[in-house]
């Protein structure tokens, strides 16, 4: 156990599906898992372990932002011997050619922030997902006739719609990375996985377009996530 997780070590599976919202973890457990049980409720960050097609899988919320994802993913890798975390979440896009509801498989995550420097003194701002895991996810998506876009994403410290001048932020992004949008957790997850020798991936549904000023409603966001959930769970099944 840790200060943030009261699950026993044996309560957590080797593969964890990690939405940001703990209530989404509850939704996944109730609608996709069998014989599930709540194994953590500290700070309302629910974790459930159950069976998907007979394979043991954990789903757990990460909270919002790199500090929260950094804590929970680090502890899962370091103290619970988790091998693989697949983040599923939402993102906004800057690229006008990407439509709402498209699904992005993140290749690499760039942050202008200092998560790596704070963790271990490294001046690192771009880190990739585990490429073998991404290949597996892509294969699973193809088998289910689900289309994924493989893109680089920004991991920011402010919610995009609240940023006063988005162009100033975009000017700081490295042009060679062709960053198409942003979310707030992937860099911390990928960096923890790299530091600790683990596996990490991130699947995102596009829920708003910064340039086109379009966004999904709360209900549309909820309904749109099932493709990501299906891909992540079927990948977890293949890995266990």
At residue 224 the predicted structure's pLDDT band, cuts being 50, 70 and 90, is low
Is the confidence at residue 139, as pLDDT, over 80? yes
Residue 4 lies in a domain: no
Q: Measure the CA–CA gap between 36 and 30, rounded to whole angstroms.
A: 8
Residue 62 sits in a domain whose CATH number is: 3.40.50.1580
What is the tens place of the pLDDT at every residue in 29-83? 999 999 999 999 999 999 999 999 999 999 999 999 999 999 999 999 999 999 9
At residue 27 the predicted structure's pLDDT band, cuts being 50, 70 and 90, is very high
Residue (of 89, 87, 86) closest to 15 by Cα position: 86
Higher pLDDT, 170 or 123: 123
Mean pLDDT of the chain: 92
Is 208 part of the annotated catalytic residue set?
Answer: yes
Residue 165 lies in a domain: yes
Q: Measure the CA–CA gap between 115 and 98, rounded to whole angstroms.
A: 28
Residue 87 lies in a domain: yes
Residue 2 lies in a domain: no
Residue 37 lies in a domain: yes
**217 CB-near residues (< 8 Å, 6+ apart):** none
Q: Which domain, by its residues, includes 142?
A: 9-239
Kindly compute the dihedral angle of the four CA atoms of residues 191, 192, 193, 196, in this order, to the nearest 10 degrees.
Answer: 120
Residue 30 lies in a domain: yes
What is the tens place of the pLDDT at every residue in 144-189? 998 999 999 999 998 877 888 888 888 889 999 999 999 999 999 9
Residue 3 lies in a domain: no
pTM score of the predicted model? 0.94
Number of domains comprising the chain: 1
Q: What is the pLDDT of residue 234?
A: 96
Q: Which of 11, 160, 208, 234 is catalytic?
A: 208
Residue 1 lies in a domain: no
- The beta-carbon contacts of 220-225 under 8 Å, at least 24 apart in sequence, are 221/90, 224/101, 225/19, 225/24, 225/88, 225/90
Residue 212 burial (10 A CB sphere; 0-12, 13-18, 19+)? middle
């Amino acid at each position: 156990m840790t200060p943030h997780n009261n699950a026993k070590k044996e309560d957590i599976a080797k593969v964890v599906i990690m939405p940001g919202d703990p209530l989404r973890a509850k939704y996944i457990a109730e609608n996709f898992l069998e014989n599930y049980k709540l194994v953590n409720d500290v700070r309302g960050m629910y974790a459930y372990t159950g069976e998907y097609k007979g394979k043991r899988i954990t789903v757990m919320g990460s909270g919002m932002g790199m500090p929260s994802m950094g804590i929970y993913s680090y502890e899962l890798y370091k103290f619970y011997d988790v091998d693989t975390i697949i983040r599923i979440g939402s993102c906004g896009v800057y690229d006008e050619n990407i439509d709402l509801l498209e699904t992005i498989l993140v290749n690499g995550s760039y942050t202008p922030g200092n998560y790596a420097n704070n963790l271990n003194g490294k001046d690192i701002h771009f880190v990739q997902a585990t490429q073998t895991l991404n290949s597996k996810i892509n294969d699973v998506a193809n088998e289910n006739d689900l289309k994924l876009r493989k893109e680089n994403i920004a991991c920011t410290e402010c919610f995009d719609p609240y940023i006063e001048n988005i162009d100033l932020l975009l000017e700081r992004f490295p042009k060679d990375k062709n960053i198409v949008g942003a979310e707030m957790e992937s860099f911390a997850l990928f960096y923890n996985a790299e530091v600790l020798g683990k596996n990490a991936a991130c699947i995102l549904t596009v829920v708003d377009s910064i340039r086109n000023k379009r966004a999904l409603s709360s209900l549309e966001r909820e309904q749109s996530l099932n493709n990501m959930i299906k891909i992540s769970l079927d990948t977890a099944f293949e890995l266990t």
